[in-house]
Structure 1
Amino acid sequence: MRSLIDIKKLNVKAANTNSQQSLENEKNTIGLGGVGRSKKHESADKQVAGEAIYVDDRSPLRGELYAAVGQSEHAHANIVAMDLSKVKTAEGVLAVITVEDVPGHTDIGPVFPGDPVLALGKVEYIGQPIFAVAASSYELARKAVKLAKIEYEELEAVLTIKDALAKQNFVRPPFTMKRGDSEKAIEGAEHQLSGSIVVGGQEHMYLEGQVSTAEPTEDGGMNIFTSSQHPSEVQKLVAEVLDIPLNKVLVDMRRMGGGFGGKETQAAPWACIAALLANITKRPVKFKLSRVDDMVMTGKRHPFENNYTVGFDSDGVIKGIKIEVNSNCGYSPDLSDAITDRAMFHSDNAYYLDQATVTGNRCKLNTVSHTAFRGFGGPQGMMTIEMVMDDIARHIGKDPLEIRMLNLYGKEDRNVTHYHQKVEHNNLAELIETLAESSDYQARRQTITEFNKSNAILKKGIALTPVKFGISFTVQHLNQAGALVHIYTDGTIHLNHGGTEMGQGLNTKIAQVVAEVFQVDVDTVAISSARTDKVPNTSPTAASSGTDLNGKAAQAAAKTIKQRLIDFACEKYQVRADQVKFENSHIIVGDQTFSFAEFSQIAYMGRVSLSSTGFYKTPKIHFDRAKGKGRPFFYFATGAAVSEVIIDTLTGEYKTLRTDILQDVGHSINPAIDIGQIEGAFIQGMGWLTTEELIWNEKGRLLSNNPATYKIPAINDAPADFRVALVTDAPNREHTIYNSKAVGEPPFMLGMSVWSALKDAISSISDYKQSPVLDTPATPERVLWAVESMKAASK
């Protein structure tokens, strides 16, 4: 009998030719810049050399202090009494604050109230900050908070979604999207099925933990250096807790060591606490969380428990469906309303649901408040319909891919979502057919079926799953961005925009956009920190919108300056506008040619403004929540993945043998960065569905609170044969920045192909006649339980 270790040696092939070709292109175009070329990340060299500066790497400011917080030991309790006398007299302590010391707002909820900066007489999860200290060292601050004596009156805690549903315990009211009469359609269909699934949450596990430094200014203001995806929100909340105007708070964010949504809203509390302590001590204060504290005190991807009832015909075409998504929001609203909405929006994934009812419940539990995570609820919503596809296929004895193809969005009579948005420019069928052919899906399916017939212990599985992901913030006002561009007299360019760089290559892409406008070398474009005094009122860098929004804003600013240069050239040299051309770092004016630097100096001497702001707002989007109708998304990003796995039915151990991905990114601004984003998103999505397990005990304490008890994918978990390709000659037909498409979030959901392939391998035990129940994460234990259940049901 072959072991899985032996099997790993099979199917190991040469590196993906598409990805490798992209890397070769990158080597050949270093320094060229411009849109459509592979250009390495602007901080790559510094990051590899360890020279990139993050917030915690900044040199200590004069008199800098260090913060820590006292945390709740109960999931739900009233604070009866609190003795902080020993904390105040502890070595190195200079200040101790409670919520009573907050001069301004005490609630820092990002959308709805419910997030006190420090506990307000009651605690609602284990780890909730109750008080804060500033001390002369990080270690002394952490030691001091342990000296507090707090008396609690313990209250009943809600720790499961089922309990929250039974008690109707919600952070926001339930919401339903509906089209047609789903109940009647289900009843009238030839076949009916029902099912449910538990979809686990996910820890962000960014390399750089939460950290902020607050520095008092001479005018009673505050400078904040923070690892945040949303500097403007940090600015607003710091101003509110200090009760000062926004123009007295400056937030500076050069780069993050990862965010994934975990630093969209949940970077703000630590900045606010640091600012409160700095305001009292009149000294700079740094607040950084240890890894354990970070995992305990910050929210995760929302766990969901979803269920469905579906009616379908003998071919497997859905006639009616009811879906309920139940999100574990934790103790407060945070972003849960919008996240659950997006789960509802994406409950169709790539499939036409004619008569459909989708309901979302936002369950309040006594755990840390869950928050944004790559995909923002979309992945949890998609899981239900992908389960439906597999379940229908097993029920009527067809290949799941055939059922998926039958139910895809199609032509005029099958191209409107359950929230009444038309699916335009639909390439799903073509994309899937192309991938099925390039990956040899049908031949491999047949080979795998034969393998499973002749192997009693090892079983293989294969699955092809698509993704249709809506691009835009579903909160309309967030779909805007600003930028600031300067040209200096030596021809170099300074760029500042409202987005934040967290490793995804946003700054590199925006620099390429500006370089493209002026047709100059991208290396002449320098980008400074995201700063609230340069570009105000920014939206978070989230929802895969970073390049779409900020790229357009930067382009607008650059075009304004470019037009000024053209107008100046026409006036000074008496030429027509069509005789002024920007080419290869030069400006051609009639029969004269100037270097870009030379002409910048001439324009300056001619008193031409070489600085401009730019602004962009996404067109066409709208949604009437009361009616459940509208166009919440500017466009849809699409992709598909084929994954092949092998499982050991005696142990539940498994391995992903091969994955083929085809992703539509429109006209790619930077193919190398896009492919890197796709690879990373897939692995992160695969980890969410297979290895990354959050565990709370019966008291509501997080047990998986460090890298030893929480397993993210390692290199050995990646597919042995990993192939990534971009759809060619497919510019976005909506007017996006250079007709590109978003790439940050959509490929994350391609990890569902691994989950579906695991189910395919397990189903082979029943000769593909039954669909296994496989909750996520599909750890080896859960795979083994599903195998045993399948064996029992097949007897």
Structure 2
Amino acid sequence: MSIGKNIPHDSSLGHVTGTSVFIEDRPRMQRELLVLPVGVPCASGTLKSISYEKALKAPGVVAVLTAKDLHHNIWGTIVQEQPILVSDKIGYYDEPALLLVGDDYEKLLLARSLVTFEIEKAPAILSIDEAIAKQSFICKSGPMRCGDIDKAMAMAPHRLSGVFECGGQEHFYLESQACVAYPLEDGQIEIHSSSQHPSETQHVVAEALGLSLHQVVCVVKRMGGGFGGKESQAAPFAAMAAIVAQKMGLPARLILSKDDDMAMTGKRHPFKNFYDVAFDNEGNILGLKAHLYADGGAYADLSSSILDRALFHIDGAYYLPNAYIEGHVCRTNMYSNTAFRGFGGPQGSMTIESIIEEIATYLKIDALTVRERNCYRPENNVTHYGQKLENTPLQELFSKLTADSEYRERRKAIDEFNRQNPHKVRGLSMTATKFGIAFTARFLNQGNASVNVHKDGTVQVSTGATEMGQGVNTKIQQIVAHCFGIDAAAVKVMATSTEKNHNTSPTAASSGADINGAAALKAAEGIKKRLAWVFQLTLAGAPMDDVNECPPLNEALLKLEEFEFKDGQIKHLPSGKTMSWNELLMKAYFNRLSLGEYAHFKTEGLGYDKAKGVGTPFKYFTNGVAASEVEIDVFTGEYKVLRTDILMDLGRSLNPGIDRGQVTGAFVQAMGWVTTEKLYHNKDGKLLSHSPTTYKIPNVQDTPRIFNVDFIENNGNTANVHRSKAVGEPPFLLGISVWTAIKDALRYKSRGAIPQIISPATPEVVLMELAKYESSKL
């Protein structure tokens, strides 16, 4: 039995010994070239000309390429509007406009300073507020409606209105955008890329070079992190390397430095959300009106889908009987913001969690009480977009974690601590995640896989999933091994390649293991049926020799349920007779039955009418709750996370160890987003926080002093492979509990006022909020 076991990550040994191969580890080939993109020093305007003659004559530089060298210069995942290299209109500061090509990276860096640009500058839009004022929008989404919102708002005993604002976030993957392009015979190109979406990389490269798709192969062995930042934005950099390889007839390598990567690539979308909420004396939410504004940056990228998911998740884990929800994506002169773990879900869910803290402060009751009263339950289990919730045990999660974390007792202790300590203040908050699993674009919910069984009993599996450290290959390995009843070590998941798995969806939306694991299982089951057929005919005494060959599989006659594949043996349950895995394989091989299978899988039951704002965009929901406690120094605004307790519903876990790593990693990453990860720009739109020295991600000392993670037992999710639930993105939303705990702590010092903080709540933000309370005493 491989399912449910803590099998080590398939690359764990390679990672700790340094033998895992990433793009930069690929040996340089003879005469291989290096590619350095050069960005424009302006956020908005028109590029009139580029002077690169001095750079071209510099030592180590062999060529300069511009937009004119590309066959097709415009790309875009949803809307094709973004240039690979700027040709005229400038979208954002440091947008790539030129490629320096050479054989020495340090010399290319020196030559970059010799490139100059003639630019006709134009006014730049650098904030959501400016975009709203100038009506600069990429798209609109919604409204989503339910109930009678106007009546609910008019008759409600209480209403609060306000603004929730959260900032962007740098992906900060350890491996920057990286790719190597190899020119092959007949004009073909093979591109090795650190990409979450090999098919899109293949497509963008082919279009940019004027090739057909069958002339381009994209290979992805692994990534050193992705988090959504390599879903769409790996493709244009691959095209840059590929055009150099095509023009020069030599291999070309492009690996961005961390500084260039941060300056040139998009981030998590900042949001500014306006809301009006109605509620009664007990804190029951009666209605919510919300208008969400996302900063999409200069180009559309994936922003429309990200906004949609924010609208889907504005309810968080809470029932909205009456609602009117809509949103806009703003077009600004910032880098084109893109996918990031949670994909808009955190920005939506964090809004309602903040609102609940404000309702609790207004009514002078515990925010957990408000959450428990509004939590989805069997009698209130339909979302504001009309999807009925099934297998969503949010009440159980809240109840169990409240007891396990000793929430009520600790709340009393915190109240007492805050009464006795004038210089420190503590806060405690419990938030939830109800994260919808599926791509909201229905056509992406498909995948394919091939499974090849070799004569020695080992298995190779190829899928469209890409491994970025999250363990998707290990889960697929376990699924196939479990199907065949063999040891997981006998199964190897191969590097992802577009020549083996075509038209694949990105590894995103937390669905990598769901879709690709289901496709691999479907393929493996096809082989398993043929093997059981051979055994069944053998037991029936059918002659299978050089003269009489095994007939093709007849599924109507196959009694698959009578055969057990376990521990390398196949057992016929009625007779008790067994045959070894290898013996049965050879019998099938000599009877010319295929030991390979291809399968296609699509997620059923999805359908959302965007025009009406109603439907079933998600297959199921992954759920969880987290309680976090913080302590703030009122003199400095510095805070510490004293304790976090997390309880997740992951269905029947495929690999509890990997899932636990995903939960803790997602939480800490989210904690960074809501506390320290602040993006700073100058007045011209240039990113200033573009390196590890100026951008503060969490370190080990920032993690909770006490950190407990547990899972509930839930075998009821029949919607997914082996009753499992996706884990990649949902726990990210639990990091919001640190921010709401800070808001809860500030409530003790606010003298009845509702704390008004933005995210990230840096120590400076906290200190300024505390200073407001002190000044109010004067």
What band does the TM-score fall into relative to the shorter chain?
over 0.9
User: Which of 655, 663, 672 lines up with 1:687 in the alignment?
Assistant: 672
Q: TM-score, normalised by structure 2?
A: 0.96
> What CA distance in whole angstroms lies between the structure 2 residues aligned with 1:749 and 1:677?
12
> What CA distance in whole angstroms lies between the structure 1 residues aligned with 2:363 and 2:26?
62
Deviations 1:520-549 (A, max 9, x none): 000000111001111111100011001110
Q: 1:432 to 1:140 in 2, by over 3 A?
A: same
Q: How is 1:469-480 mapped onto 2 (pairs within 5 angstroms)?
A: 469-480=435-446
Q: How is 1:278-357 mapped onto 2 (pairs within 5 angstroms)?
A: 278-357=245-324
Q: Number of paired residues?
A: 759
Shift of 1:95: 2.4
> What CA distance in whole angstroms lies between the structure 2 residues aligned with 1:648 and 1:761?
11
1:80 partner letter? K
Match of 2:553 in 1: none
Shift of 1:235: 0.5
> What CA distance in whole angstroms lies between the structure 2 residues aligned with 1:83 and 1:758?
51
Shift of 1:92: 2.7
Shift of 1:697: 1.3
Does 2:74 match 1:91? no
Shift of 1:484: 0.8
Q: How is 1:746-757 mapped onto 2 (pairs within 5 angstroms)?
A: 746-757=730-741
Match of 2:688 in 1: 703
Match of 2:722 in 1: 738
Contact 1:221/1:248 (<8 A) preserved: yes
2:766 partner letter? V
Contact 1:635/1:734 (<8 A) preserved: no
> What CA distance in whole angstroms lies between the structure 2 residues aligned with 1:621 and 1:174?
19
Shift of 1:314: 1.1
Match of 2:607 in 1: 622
Shift of 1:37: 0.8
User: Which of 194, 203, 216 lines up with 2:183 in the alignment?
Assistant: 216
Q: Secondary structure at the residue paired with 1:594? A: strand
Q: 1:794 to 1:556 in 2, by over 3 A?
A: farther
Deviations 1:64-109 (A, max 9, x none): 1000122110000111222222233232323222111112x21111
> What CA distance in whole angstroms lies between the structure 2 residues aligned with 1:263 and 1:81?
30
> What CA distance in whole angstroms lies between the structure 1 residues aligned with 2:660 and 2:775?
43
Contact 2:153/2:287 (<8 A) preserved: yes
Contact 2:141/2:304 (<8 A) preserved: no
Match of 1:519 in 2: 485
Shift of 1:608: 1.2
Shift of 1:701: 0.6
Structure 2, gaps ≥5 residues long = 542-558
> What CA distance in whole angstroms lies between the structure 2 residues aligned with 1:276 and 1:188?
63
> What CA distance in whole angstroms lies between the structure 1 residues aligned with 2:760 and 2:459?
47
**RMSD value, Cα:** 1.4
User: Which of 710, 717, 727 lines up with 1:725 in the alignment?
Assistant: 710
User: Which of 405, 408, 415 lines up with 2:372 in the alignment?
Assistant: 405
Does 2:557 match 1:557? no
Contact 1:667/1:740 (<8 A) preserved: yes
1:758 partner letter? I
> What CA distance in whole angstroms lies between the structure 2 residues aligned with 1:578 and 1:197?
56
Identical columns (%) = 45
> What CA distance in whole angstroms lies between the structure 2 residues aligned with 1:420 and 1:699?
44
Match of 1:786 in 2: 769
**Which has the larger displacement, 693-702 or 184-193?**
184-193
Shift of 1:792: 4.0
Q: TM-score, normalised by structure 1?
A: 0.94
Contact 2:138/2:330 (<8 A) preserved: yes
> What CA distance in whole angstroms lies between the structure 2 residues aligned with 1:623 and 1:794?
53
Match of 1:650 in 2: 635
> What CA distance in whole angstroms lies between the structure 2 residues aligned with 1:578 and 1:260?
41
Contact 2:189/2:215 (<8 A) preserved: yes
User: Which of 625, 628, 635 lines up with 2:620 in the alignment?
Assistant: 635
Q: How is 1:45-56 mapped onto 2 (pairs within 5 angstroms)?
A: 45-56=13-24
Contact 1:496/1:530 (<8 A) preserved: yes
**Which has the larger displacement, 585-594 or 69-78?**
585-594
Q: Secondary structure at the residue paired with 1:738? A: helix
Contact 1:225/1:253 (<8 A) preserved: yes
User: Which of 544, 569, 587 lines up with 1:586 in the alignment?
Assistant: 569
User: Which of 498, 507, 518 lines up with 1:541 in the alignment?
Assistant: 507
Contact 1:66/1:285 (<8 A) preserved: yes
Shift of 1:177: 1.6
Q: Secondary structure at the residue paired with 1:539? A: coil
Does 2:460 match 1:529? no
> What CA distance in whole angstroms lies between the structure 1 residues aligned with 2:637 and 2:60?
52
Shift of 1:410: 1.9
Contact 2:294/2:329 (<8 A) preserved: yes
Does 2:142 match 1:158? no
Shift of 1:504: 0.5
Shift of 1:587: 1.9
Q: Secondary structure at the residue paired with 2:715? A: coil
Contact 1:254/1:529 (<8 A) preserved: yes
Q: 1:294 to 1:577 in 2, by over 3 A?
A: closer
Contact 1:183/1:322 (<8 A) preserved: no
Contact 1:54/1:256 (<8 A) preserved: yes
> What CA distance in whole angstroms lies between the structure 2 residues aligned with 1:565 and 1:745?
38
Match of 2:549 in 1: none
Match of 2:38 in 1: 70
Match of 1:440 in 2: 406
Q: Secondary structure at the residue paired with 2:259? A: helix
Contact 2:619/2:719 (<8 A) preserved: no
Match of 1:142 in 2: 109
Deviations 1:674-721 (A, max 9, x none): 011000000001010001111111110101010000010000000010
Does 2:174 match 1:207? yes
Match of 1:11 in 2: none
Shift of 1:144: 2.7
Q: 1:259 to 1:624 in 2, by over 3 A?
A: same
Contact 1:488/1:610 (<8 A) preserved: yes
> What CA distance in whole angstroms lies between the structure 2 residues aligned with 1:353 and 1:792?
38
Deviations 1:213-239 (A, max 9, x none): 010110111000000000010001111
Contact 2:62/2:102 (<8 A) preserved: yes
Q: 1:77 to 1:435 in 2, by over 3 A?
A: same
Q: 1:577 to 1:463 in 2, by over 3 A?
A: closer
Shift of 1:595: 2.4
Does 2:330 match 1:363? yes
Shift of 1:133: 2.4
Deviations 1:150-175 (A, max 9, x none): 11111000001000001110122353
> What CA distance in whole angstroms lies between the structure 2 residues aligned with 1:447 and 1:578?
58
Match of 2:385 in 1: 419
Contact 1:732/1:741 (<8 A) preserved: no
Contact 1:301/1:373 (<8 A) preserved: yes
2:481 partner letter? A
Match of 1:34 in 2: 2
> What CA distance in whole angstroms lies between the structure 2 residues aligned with 1:794 and 1:635?
50
Contact 2:620/2:719 (<8 A) preserved: no
Shift of 1:291: 0.6
User: Which of 119, 128, 134 lines up with 2:86 in the alignment?
Assistant: 119
Shift of 1:186: 1.2
Contact 1:307/1:384 (<8 A) preserved: no
> What CA distance in whole angstroms lies between the structure 2 residues aligned with 1:119 and 1:175?
33
**Which has the larger displacement, 418-427 or 278-287?**
418-427
